[in-house]
Amino acid sequence: MAAISRAIRSCAAASRRSMAASSKEVPADVARAAAAAAARRGRERDREGGRRVQWVFLGCPGVGKGTYASRLSRMLRVPHIATGDLVRDALASPGPFSKQLAEIVNHGKLVSDEVIINLLSKRLEEGEEKGELGFILDGFPRTIRQAEILEGVTDIDLVINLKLREEALLAKCLGRRMCSQCGGNFNVASIDIEGENGGPRMYMPPLLPPPQCESKLITRPDDTEEVVKERLRVYHDLSEPVEEFYRARGKLLEFNLPGGLPESWPKLLQALNLEDPGKERSAAV
Ligand code: AMP
């Protein structure tokens, strides 16, 4: 990991020039098969005691990357590294740098590649000192340049692209709450939308906090309607091309969330060909 963090830093410094992404078309079934093979390779390496999985989560703001990435990271014993969390930690420390960052983040824009690479490299270095292996990245890469830098320094096994209907995304961002004491993430939105083209209704129940967190809930300053709409626009402009970048490399696994966590989690595990150890335990009781 130290090698990766050093390489990311130097690669970022060297790649000031813009690099165009390969836009080779790969048929969807070929891409799916390649992504499944990539997931298998990652898990086999893990079992062989080589290195742990190196996965990336992509998806629009509000899709639930953090929820699914953190669950998988616990299952696969790899750190969940969310660049949004790194940015929020930087925002929390007083000084001119955090003021500059707040101006960008609270308007729904992306911070510069340099800033994000520095924050990520520092996080990887700290993890390496603690003996961390593998990772699940969430919120990085978000631009083609970030994807090229990452691709240049390490082998990403799999990129999971979470998808959810656009109507649900805004409601999910506006319903998001965090406990200011324990850091737990909740959602007060109850989403119930008509099926598309005769498809099933989509129901996402709220994920309510336990009583001890109820009075301590806070909302992210960038989860207002105006800012979320801007973040979605920025995602479509700058981050959606990253999907194509990984699709062309056979690493993209598309996953359409069928509903809330209880419905989607087992299906995601199935798509990844993973067994939920929690389920095994409860079946054994
Ligand atoms: P998130 O929690 O992933 O929605 O990220 C919150 C904010 O942090 C984003 O709206 C951006 O301003 C910033 N951010 C997070 N990750 C990145 C990234 N990879 N590149 C640029 N800005 C980022």
User: What phi-psi label fits residue 64: left (phi over 0), alpha (psi between -120 and 50 degrees) or beta?
Assistant: left
Domains of the chain are 2-11+26-264 (3.40.50.300)
Tell me which of 1-5, 105-109, 250-254 is least confident: 1-5
Tell me which of 128-132, 171-175, 246-250, 272-276 is least confident: 272-276
Q: Give just the sign of the alpha carbon dihedral 138, 139, 144, 148.
A: negative
Q: Looking at residue 207, what DSSP letter applies?
A: B
Pick the residue whose CA is nearest to atom 14 on ligand 1: 84
Q: Does ligand 1 lie within 6 Å of residue 116's CB atom?
A: yes
Q: 28 or 164, which is more confident?
A: 164
Q: Does ligand 1 lie within 6 Å of residue 209's CB atom?
A: no
**pLDDT at 57 exceeding the cut of 70:** yes
**pLDDT tens string 59-105:** 999 999 999 999 999 999 999 999 999 999 999 998 889 999 999 99
Q: Does ligand 1 lie within 6 Å of residue 235's CB atom?
A: no
For the entire predicted model, the pTM comes to 0.84
Average pLDDT, the chain: 86
Atom of ligand 1 nearest to the CA of 105: 12
pLDDT confidence of residue 39: 64
**pLDDT tens string 176-197:** 999 999 989 899 999 998 887 8
Counting every residue, how long is the chain? Answer: 285
Question: Is residue 27 exposed (0-12), middle (13-18) or buried (19+ Cβ within 10 Å)?
Answer: exposed
pLDDT confidence of residue 6: 73
Residues of 178-215 as b/e, b for ≥16 C-beta within 10 angstroms? bbeeeebebbebebeeeeeeeeeebebeebebeeebee
pLDDT confidence of residue 24: 39
Q: Does ligand 1 lie within 6 Å of residue 110's CB atom?
A: yes
pLDDT band at 277, cuts 50/70/90? confident
pLDDT confidence of residue 28: 58
pLDDT confidence of residue 269: 97
Q: How many CA atoms lie within 13 A of 35 on its CB side?
A: 25
**Residue 180 and residue 280: Cα distance in Å, rounded?**
33
**Residue 141 and residue 58: Cα distance in Å, rounded?**
8
pLDDT band at 1, cuts 50/70/90? low
- Tell me the sheet residues that pair with 137: 56, 81
**pLDDT tens string 20-36:** 333 334 455 655 665 66
3 state SS of 165: coil
The mean pLDDT value for 99-114 works out to 96
**pLDDT tens string 45-54:** 555 555 689 9
**pLDDT tens string 192-240:** 988 878 878 889 999 999 999 999 999 999 999 999 999 999 999 999 9
Residue among 56, 68, 70, 83 to mutate when testing ligand 1 (max atoms within 8 A of CB): 83
Q: What share of the chain has pLDDT > 90, as a percent?
A: 69
**pLDDT at 279 exceeding the cut of 80:** no
Residue among 91, 105, 121, 169 to mutate when testing ligand 1 (max atoms within 8 A of CB): 105
pLDDT confidence of residue 16: 46
User: Are 231 and 222 spatial neighbours (Cβ–Cβ below 8 Å)?
Assistant: yes
Task: Return the closest-CA partner of residue 63 out of 182, 167, 198.
Answer: 167
**Residue 162 and residue 155: Cα distance in Å, rounded?**
21
**pLDDT at 41 exceeding the cut of 90:** no
Residue among 58, 63, 87 to mutate when testing ligand 1 (max atoms within 8 A of CB): 87
Q: Does ligand 1 lie within 6 Å of residue 62's CB atom?
A: no
